[in-house]
Structure 1
Amino acid sequence: MTYRFLEHIATADVAFEAYGTTREELFISCAEALLHTMVHQLEDVERVQEEIIKLEHTDLDLLLYSFLEELVFQKDARQLLLHADVVRIEEADDILRLEAVTSGEKIAPQRHRLVVDVKAVTLHHFQVVQEEDGWRATVVLDI
């Protein structure tokens, strides 16, 4: 799982491109990039609390959007910083169903070197593309 931050897409926001050989790996890479946008060191966020996220959508890109928005919501509403540990995506009757096992902990400013506060995932330049060797997503975060 890998990602890289993009400097040329948004000047007042944070943009990244993430990759995965499968759709599930792509979602995990995007979640990792989102968390890394908020916290300087990913390993500072301990996996002490598990949360299950279940979502469904007809479009893969909007499923990813909803997943990342849910992670931002968890941070805002419950003060939880979450790693995406396992993601499963199944398709039936033209509906994509996601179940993600996430883990993390409540924000502890004395231990977590916070970088920026992500307010939302935007649809600006948002895309999910299947390539020969896997999947790629471009995401812009409102900070």
Structure 2
Amino acid sequence: MRRECGYKGWEFVTWLDADGNAVDTVDDRFNSQFIMRDRYSGETYIPERTIAQVGIGFFSLPDVDKLGFTGSEYQVMLRYIFNHDDKDCVESEEHLRELMTPLSSRPSLTMEEDEDTVDDEERWAEPTY
């Protein structure tokens, strides 16, 4: 089984558990090993790096679906990559859940001691020139 990385022409086959056995699901898709297959030769290999290390951008849309990600999760991951350093990837299921949580549902950060706070009315008021 080949062990180097390079996803062009390759497709996701299945996840591997901690013992190296093929499984349908894993607890953390970002930090689990998986098997890839060459679409043309059928050769398989296990990449040394995880999705947390290489990011989701190396996978085709059908592979993203096979990996178990929803369209919304995929959009959030791509947005995260585009808004950060290209080498900065979603690190875990917990990180993805945090990114998926709407800002309005997150605990508020209060700045009681900071006099520079702006309320919503002031924030969205028409600018004055």
TM-score, normalised via structure 1 length? 0.26
- TM-score calculated relative to the size of structure 2: 0.28
Question: More strand by proportion, 1 or 2?
Answer: 1
- Structure number with larger C-alpha Rg: 2
Q: Choose between structure 1 and 2 for higher RCO, CA contacts under 8 A separated by at least 6 residues.
A: 1
